[in-house]
Copies of this chain bind each other. A is one copy, B any other.
């Protein structure tokens, strides 16, 4: 038996423990027992805060999705030439991804076995769709190349951005958030090749 700590959790702090365990064990592989052990409180104490693990998942991916969709409402994402708006969205996505690293990591690993997971996948597709729309507009305005199919280009650019969850570690030596965001924007828009 674990000696249960006194429950000093708020929904917020409990969520951060749950997200860590989901990312370590996978959502499917996590039981309420695992959450209870990781939090050091009883299962009934957890049920005092949430209806179950799916609610924790929903709250966690909502936090990531709110961060991402919030970007699209920011002024620089709405005003100006589409290419500049797109560049802004790419940079801010890197920033949100780093600021909410465990939450976005969980969102990106969601596979779609429960209603919440299917909803999260649907929202991710909606975000990709909005960004693809920006890219299409930028191509129509002549600022972005038109020879790569828009959906494919969107997937590749966000493949690069999203790869951060696999290797970016905030306390790692070196690479700052700013340096990563600059590098992503430079590569996505100008590529590796030195301008002639």
Contact = CB atoms under 8 A, between A and B. Distances in A.
A52 interface: no
Given A155-B167, A159-B162, A163-B159, A193 B184 contact: no
Contacts of A192: 86, 135, 138, 144-145, 148, 153, 157, 188-189
Contacts of A152: 175, 179-180, 183
Interface residues of A, number: 45
Contacts of A175: 149, 152
A143 interface: yes
Interface in A124-138: 135, 138
Contacts of A153: 183, 187, 192
A190 interface: yes
Contact of A155 (B163, B186, B194): B163
Contacts of A167: 155, 159
A179 B189 CA distance: 19
A160 B149 contact: no
Contacts of A142: 194
22 contacts: A26-B26, A26-B29, A29-B29, A83-B193, A138-B192, A145-B186, A145-B195, A147-B186, A148-B187, A149-B175, A152-B175, A155-B167, A156-B163, A156-B183, A156-B184, A158-B163, A159-B161, A159-B163, A186-B191, A189-B192, A190-B191, A190-B193
